[in-house]
Structure 1
Amino acid sequence: MSDRIENAKRALGLVDLTNLNDDCTPEDISKLAERTVTDHGSVAAVCVWPRFVAQAVKELTGTGVKVATVVNFPQGGVETGAVVSETIKAIDDGADEIDHVMAYEAFVAGRKGFVEEQIIRVREAVPEPAILKVILETGEIRDPLLIHAASNIAIGAGADFIKTSTGKVTVNATLEAAEVMLTAIEEARRDNAERVIGFKPAGGIRTSEDAEAYLALADRILGHNWASASTFRFGASGLLDALIATIEGTEPAIGQGY
């Protein structure tokens, strides 16, 4: 079996199959749920708007596929109380994972203490075994030093994962931002080997080649055995079809991303 097929099989189990389209309907969520279990294995999770969490939980019961949702999305606002309430509602509806958009504009403006406090408040609303992913919006932060600092703030405030992007801005996941974030995770691991922090690139990852490049980067920085569904996810809508096409030897399908 070729390395490309092996890598596609590896990536398939790391996908957060996503529909965060503004016009998403309950029917779209049902179609999303139907795609989660394939002949080649299951995706890790679906990621949906908060209003669809309860439906997704019901439709995925028994599959082992997690339900993730987004809060403070996509703007990364500063109304912490509203974000906490949104998070509590999502957890009550059955969400396994919360993808929280860091208040990245406040961070760039120098309000690092505020940003940290907001993440801490959201973290307090996400009880174990639910997990918290913090979206940095690296394409808007831009500066690698600031991306590194944002990674450290999110990790220090209790994030289980750090995630590149919402998929709603001009520049989303890049390998350059991923390298900075994975390096921050490695540094945190050196400081505390028992702390497990994951990584999620999201937005614009559409092909098997894209997935392979991100996994190769993670392997180089954190070791070949590091990336698993508990430490690494791809946030994507079109990637699953491309991975299946690679595994089955058909023409790769290019998805629309999100």
Structure 2
Amino acid sequence: MNSHSLRETAAVALSLLDLTNLKDDCTPAQISALCARAQTPFGNSAAICIWPRFVAQARGILGADHPVKIATVVNFPSGEMEIADVAAETREAIADGADEIDLVIPYRALMSGNERAVTVMVTAVRAECMAPVILKVIIETGELKDVALIGRASELAIEAGADFIKTSTGKVAVNATLEAADIMLRSIRQSGGKVGFKAAGGIGSVADASLYLRLAETIMAPDWAMPSTFRFGASGLLDDILVVLSGGQSSGAASGY
């Protein structure tokens, strides 16, 4: 990839980035810094993705109707909370100012053959996410592993009303992979619905990002990827984006979430 197209990819990736801090020891000071980092000299990231306890703080910093959206996580990262608790967590996050909810499905239940657990969970949280709130459903592909299971989890999430399907929490050994992305994007195409895709965890460079964008273009359509249909969930990717947009060289190395 030449430097011109790499820079174009970096600009696109910035517009699709959910700049993330889901570290267990995240502090209010780090959230303030994240809100500032999301607004770069080259444009804004699509969103920040943070723990529910920080949503009200971030909304206070960004104000109403800010172009940088606030995403938060529920049933995270285990996927094993009670439905009523997840619904309450979702309601509270939206009341605090969340624009987007990233929900972990009960993936272990699915692995044991319980498809209904996924449908019931996604349906319940979907009911809390009134427009314009966006629901992204995390299927934890690195734990599901099996091609058929990843495909089925994608189908169940889409059928239950997901606006996006997302690869990973970033909290397990294997996070986003191109193989999982391929299965999920094909599930979206097959559904015929207006559903987006989010690759999360392990995407640390513009070179990495370009592979996912190229895959989306191949399976869906050229120019399909935009903030309403495609996101990257990452903490380290912004650093590489800014290097490339400033005229430097992409690190080309993957990193953690």
Q: Into which bin does the TM-score normalised by the smaller protein fall?
A: over 0.9
- Residue 36 of structure 2 aligns with which residue? 34
- Residue 11 of structure 1 aligns with which residue? 13
- Residue 256 of structure 2 aligns with which residue? 257
Q: Which residue identity does 1:29 align to in structure 2?
A: I
- Residue 217 of structure 1 aligns with which residue? 215
Q: Structure 2 length normalisation: TM-score?
A: 0.96
Specify which of 223, 228, 238 is matched with residue 230 of structure 1.
228
More displaced, 221-230 or 59-68? 59-68
Specify which of 60, 67, 70 is matched with residue 58 of structure 1.
60
- Give the unaligned 5+ runs of structure 1: 190-194
In structure 1, C-alpha distance between the alignment counterparts of 2:97 and 2:12, rounded to whole Å: 27
8 Å CA contact retained: 2:55, 2:97: yes
Instruction: State whether structure 2 residue 96 is matched by structure 1 residue 93.
Output: yes
Change (3 A) 1:172 1:184: same
8 Å CA contact retained: 2:201, 2:234: yes
Q: How far did residue 78 of structure 1 move?
A: 4.4
Structure 1 residues 173-231: Cα deviation after superposition (integer angstroms, max 9, x where no partner): 00000000000000112xxxxx3100000001000111000000000001112110000
In structure 1, C-alpha distance between the alignment counterparts of 2:82 and 2:160, rounded to whole Å: 18
- Residue 188 of structure 2 aligns with which residue? 185
Partner SS, residue 230 of structure 2: coil
- Residue 145 of structure 2 aligns with which residue? 142
- Residue 164 of structure 1 aligns with which residue? 167
8 Å CA contact retained: 2:28, 2:54: yes
In structure 2, C-alpha distance between the alignment counterparts of 1:248 and 1:197, rounded to whole Å: 33
Specify which of 198, 211, 223 is matched with residue 200 of structure 1.
198
In structure 1, C-alpha distance between the alignment counterparts of 2:188 and 2:240, rounded to whole Å: 28
In structure 1, C-alpha distance between the alignment counterparts of 2:152 and 2:183, rounded to whole Å: 10
Q: How far did residue 251 of structure 1 move?
A: 4.1
Q: Which residue identity does 1:235 align to in structure 2?
A: G
- Give the unaligned 5+ runs of structure 2: none
8 Å CA contact retained: 2:203, 2:255: no
8 Å CA contact retained: 1:99, 1:134: yes
8 Å CA contact retained: 2:105, 2:139: yes
In structure 1, C-alpha distance between the alignment counterparts of 2:150 and 2:50, rounded to whole Å: 26
Structure 1 residues 130-188: Cα deviation after superposition (integer angstroms, max 9, x where no partner): 01000000000000111000000000000000000000000000000000000000011
Q: How far did residue 256 of structure 1 move?
A: 4.8
Change (3 A) 1:98 1:4: same
In structure 1, C-alpha distance between the alignment counterparts of 2:37 and 2:18, rounded to whole Å: 12
